[in-house]
Structure 1
Amino acid sequence: MSSTFGTLLKVSTFGESHCKGVGAVLDGCPPGMTLDEADIQPQLDRRRPGQSRLTTDRQEADRVTIFSGVENGVTLGTPIGLFVPNKDQRPGDYRQMSRIPRPSHADFTYQMKYGVRASSGGGRSSARETIGRVAAGAVAEKMLKEAYGIDIVAWVSAVSDIPSAEVDVQTITRQVIDRNLIRCPDTLAAGKMEALVARVKEEKDSVGGIVTCVCRNLPAGWGEPVFDKMEAKLAQAMLSIPATKGFEIGSGFAGTRLRGSIHNDAFVAADGRLGTTTNNSGGIQGGISNGEPVVLRVAFKPPATIGLAQQTVDFDGNPVTLEAKGRHDPCVVPRAVPIVEAMAALVLGDFALRQKTREK
């Protein structure tokens, strides 16, 4: 099983949804950066369960502890250990599902691959695994902000068939995004999204959505063609998040409907550098950042675990009716926002270190 991501800035996550705890080890963070739990906790608070009526009812404080790599509030350049305890486990909710693979869930494929699985909560395929990503991503984000002034902001741009209006990627802030439960800056669309998710939760069903992310103030020149292109590593990072089903950057799939004369981003001299008049490239050309904002979108499927009765079969092939018990999100995108931000930060942090070695 692969639980490590990155080249020079490496994150390894550990833990399952109903074990004693989850976390990460971040290796490669430079020495001398001030760091304590208060730098990490806000992002975990945005990710934690039970934060609103639109999320799972599982109640976890998700308080992080730094157990290595930091002394007297300063990074040592050694691996940074991050741990969050699981407090509100209810493995008994999954007793029935130990014999029945949930439709469209990883239950079946994990069993086929490993011959054994953590049947309570999905184990490593659970969204609890992303706690380590968010904690490590907060460290990477701090490094990027202090060294390069890079901003990373994500938001919900669609829930089911409800899209948000266009957002100014140059000015959008987390403060604006967090003004509503759904984390959509378009207040009119947010109201419709919240109503839909609340209704779906009441109906014991689920819906999907899209998270958009912008990374601002990247210098031109980051990325490692040909196989470690910036968009390739971002795609790998985002599609490793549970429940993701799609990724696009810049104009994405919509760009296929444009002609080159419209799609091309014309260069212009501005602020002492070459910029572009449009950003259909999404801030990346040839796998290398061009100095414009990197804009990406991630599609999340409806969560597989639902309380509605489903006709399926157990592992022995016997027909059964499954009504999943437990506490589950009716829509993951509000809590996925900081996860997308974290994975973007880990990718960019890795590229920053790789570029630094090249410049030497």
Structure 2
Amino acid sequence: MNGNRFGRLFQVTTFGESHGEAMGVTVSGCPAGLELSEEDIQRDLDRRKPGQSKITTSRGEPDAVSIKSGLQDGYTTGTPIGMVIENKDARSGKYEPFITAPRPSHGDFTYSAKFGTRNWGGGGRSSARETVNWVAAGAIAKKLLAREGVELKAHVNQIDDIEAPAVSFAEMVEHSEENPVRCGHPETAEAMRERIDEYQEQGDSIGGSIEFRAEGVPVGLGAPRFDSLSARLGQAMMAVPATTAFEFGLGTEATTWTGKERNDDWEFDDDGNPVPVENDHGGIQGGISSGEPIYGEVTLHAPTSIPKEQQTVDWETGEEKTEQVIGRHDPVLPPRGVPVVESMLALTLVDFMLLSGRINPDRVDGDVGEYDTDYHPSSPRNE
């Protein structure tokens, strides 16, 4: 199976199944000299892990990361960074009814049809549990971007038909982690929570969307056509499980704007540089970053694993039957999806920063820890 690697210079390769022994990720291309610890990674993993609240799955995974390679004395060495997150609370027995009877709208049938086999416990490789690897890698990308003055954040802006009003980047940062829905508008977050509870009580689920934003992005990231920043962002966001739509700037609203309304006029800033007056283009023009904040939205459908009875077929017996998906599943995905979207945004941006030379691919500037330059055993001057 291919499709387990993301990125050009900042490459992320993942492994693991939902109910396997562990999840894991290797990050290649991280420059030497970046101060990094397991705590840096764990902060974002804790935002994604299950069991955070009553609106997330109760699966008891600590999602504790262990860095196996790529560090020396708390700094990256420029070699591949290997990380492992063990699975501690897998319960595969509840999935036995679906070994030969695909769950509705899951990857069960398509995986089995393509490969002739699959890991059926918890959905195996098709499970959204795999995103734990993305978040671990994304935490490293965020640290690199922060050194370059690039900040990013995401929040839940819609659940069902409840939509939050526009919020600033500062409001996202200040409020989105204060409530279990991860919405940057506290009043709307409460209404969203109540709606999620309603669906949960009915044994059903509901969809929503995540708004993302990146500030401090330099001009010039991306290339025309297939390597455009918007195209690569689209690939990253559409890879997030349950994503049905990705948009940036005005998105689908652009269908109701005239050219004159949408076009961003130009003016000079205080330094004499051309800058757009507005940012309806979402920070990307011609597939290349304009230097303005990048913003967009990712839409996630309702979780497909629900306790309501649904019809399926058994391809071994040839029988149609009714089954219930019994297990521990999220009634809604965006709250735990926020750090996943942030990670894919960070991984895309840091890859382009390396490709453009904005970040030195060999070594980041600054202190890389103590090193005795007076003596080195392999140096000819010490023989």
Q: How does 1:227-246 map to 2 (within 5 A)?
A: 227-246=226-245
- Look up the match of 1:213: 212
How many residues are aligned here?
358
How far 1:314 moved relative to its partner? 2.2
How far 1:357 moved relative to its partner? 8.1
CA contact (8 A) 2:164 2:188 kept: yes
How far 1:174 moved relative to its partner? 3.0
State the Cα RMSD in Å. Answer: 1.5
Runs of 5+ consecutive residues of structure 1 not aligned to the other structure: none
How far 1:358 moved relative to its partner? 11
Whole-angstrom distance in 2 between the partners of 1:267 and 1:50: 49
Q: How does 1:264-279 map to 2 (within 5 A)?
A: 264-272=263-271, 273-279=273-279
TM-score (norm 1): 0.97
- Look up the match of 1:6: 7
CA contact (8 A) 2:104 2:304 kept: yes
Q: Note the alpha carbon deviations across 1:183-213, whole angstroms, 9 max, x for none.
A: 0112221111111112212222111110010
3-state SS of paired residue (1:60): coil
- Look up the match of 2:21: 20
CA contact (8 A) 2:353 2:359 kept: no
Whole-angstrom distance in 2 between the partners of 1:78 and 1:70: 8
How far 1:296 moved relative to its partner? 1.3
- Look up the match of 1:283: 283
Q: Note the alpha carbon deviations across 1:266-300, whole angstroms, 9 max, x for none.
A: 12222423322221110000110000010011010
- Look up the match of 1:263: 262
3-state SS of paired residue (2:357): helix
Whole-angstrom distance in 2 between the partners of 1:202 and 1:359: 52
Runs of 5+ consecutive residues of structure 2 not aligned to the other structure: 362-383
How far 1:311 moved relative to its partner? 2.0
Identity of aligned residues (%): 45
How far 1:359 moved relative to its partner? 9.9
CA contact (8 A) 1:255 1:280 kept: no
Whole-angstrom distance in 2 between the partners of 1:271 and 1:56: 51
Q: How does 1:172-321 map to 2 (within 5 A)?
A: 172-272=171-271, 273-316=273-316, 317-321=318-322
- Look up the match of 1:351: 352
Q: How does 1:80-229 map to 2 (within 5 A)?
A: 80-146=81-147, 148-169=148-169, 171-229=170-228
Whole-angstrom distance in 2 between the partners of 1:315 and 1:250: 45
Q: Which amino acid aligns with 2:38?
A: E
Whole-angstrom distance in 2 between the partners of 1:89 and 1:276: 51
- Look up the match of 1:43: 44
Q: Note the alpha carbon deviations across 1:100-123, whole angstroms, 9 max, x for none.
A: 111111111111111111101111
Q: Note the alpha carbon deviations across 1:87-110, whole angstroms, 9 max, x for none.
A: 011111111122211111111111
3-state SS of paired residue (1:356): coil
3-state SS of paired residue (2:244): strand
